[in-house]
Amino acid sequence: MKDHPEGEFGLRRVLLDWGIDAVELDYAAVGFGDYHWIATGADGRRWFVTLADLATKVHCGLGVAAAGPGLRRAMDTAWELRHGGLDFVVAPEKTAGGETVRPAGEQYAVSVFPLLEGSSGDFGDTPRGSVVDLLASLHGVTPPGCVPVLDPDLALRARLEESFGELDRPWDAGPYAEPARELLAGHLPGLRRRLAEFDHRIAELSPDRVVTHGEPHPGNVLWAGENRFLLDWDTVGLAVRERDLAFATDEELQRYEELTGHRPDPATLATYRLRWDLDEVAVYVELFRQPHARTEDTGLAWAELAEIVAKL
């Protein structure tokens, strides 16, 4: 995130649970959704620190009380995968008490990761190289007991439907609230058709489930020389394989079939491409229905919402 988090979360104090006496905390304005710092301990070692706003972690659970345990299950899963032999998983470190996540303030949670040197891209970038072999390995593991079991429906489906029912009166939560209302009102019939299509599609999904990452796009791939690492495991969970393959090229899908013996289903791939767009709409609408200001992050969110709604 470009913006800094609000409120008191006592980051230096929480880092002591990992035995990190942070002499430097440098804000890292990267990614979208979480807040990050580079922490330098008294011993000179550096760490990548993530602060999650549980109020917005809807894929981990609706509301702070549900999202906290959901995020912990996801981070515990990443730890199990890494220590179970998947070296490309960038997993959190554990505290002295064996925890991958610690609360910070009333609505935040902290995870600590080793600081890796390398480069990554952004969602929508042309991939530097394929990670389909990593996904094939991930999909072949025995699921850890802590892995989240995912519902294919949108986490914010009810809230999005509620928003559709309130388009006849102004929205005043912030500078992008009323533009968002006008955008939805102008495209409501088309959005309802795409939601109905989505409902039909998920009703026909295969019951087979594997461990999936959820967002293996270029922004979540770190290249360190010839080594590749997958970042951001808060979206990990049991789902159909195609969840991770929705944006793969034809060549990558063929390679995946060669590696796994599983032929990705074109209809299911299309389902998860549609789900991605509808989920983005739901998340951004929820953002603009809450109190917000005009910032670099909300400006980016507005531009993406307008683009996705027009595409849908």
pTM: 0.91
Given 97, 115, 133, the domain boundary residue is: 115
139 and 111 share one domain:
no
146-192 pLDDT tens trace: 999 999 999 999 999 999 999 999 999 999 999 999 999 999 999 99
- Residue 128 — very low, low, confident or very high, per pLDDT cuts 50/70/90? low
Alpha-helix residue ranges (DSSP H) falling in the chain: 11-15, 64-83, 132-139, 157-164, 177-202, 242-245, 250-260, 266-289, 296-311
The CATH number that applies at residue 208 is 3.90.1200.10
Residue 121 pLDDT exceeds 80 = no
Contact of 192 with 164, CB cutoff 8 Å: yes
232 and 293 share one domain:
yes
77 and 95 share one domain:
yes
Mean pLDDT of 77-94: 97
So what's the pLDDT on residue 225? 84
d(CA 176, CA 166): 16
Average predicted confidence (pLDDT) for the chain: 93
At 207 the three-state DSSP class reads coil
So what's the pLDDT on residue 4? 66
The CATH number that applies at residue 34 is 3.30.200.20
Residue 296 pLDDT exceeds 60 = yes
85 and 220 share one domain:
no
Instruction: Provide the domain limits for residue 264.
Output: 118-312
Is the model more confident about 252 or about 126? 252
So what's the pLDDT on residue 237? 98
- % of the chain beyond a pLDDT of 90: 83
99 and 222 share one domain:
no
At 226 the three-state DSSP class reads coil
18-68 pLDDT tens trace: 999 988 899 887 766 689 999 999 889 999 999 999 999 999 999 999 999
Mean pLDDT of 257-271: 97
189 and 224 share one domain:
yes
- % of the chain beyond a pLDDT of 70: 93
67 and 122 share one domain:
no
51 and 123 share one domain:
no
| Strand 108-114 with 102-104, pairing | antiparallel
Contact of 167 with 181, CB cutoff 8 Å: yes
Residue 216 pLDDT exceeds 80 = yes
Structural domains in the chain (count):
2
Given 115, 145, 164, the domain boundary residue is: 115
Residue 126 pLDDT exceeds 60 = no
143 and 259 share one domain:
yes
Residue 193 pLDDT exceeds 60 = yes
- Residue 310 — very low, low, confident or very high, per pLDDT cuts 50/70/90? very high
Mean pLDDT of 281-285: 97
Given 115, 144, 159, the domain boundary residue is: 115
99 and 227 share one domain:
no
For residue 50, the cross-strand partners are 36, 111
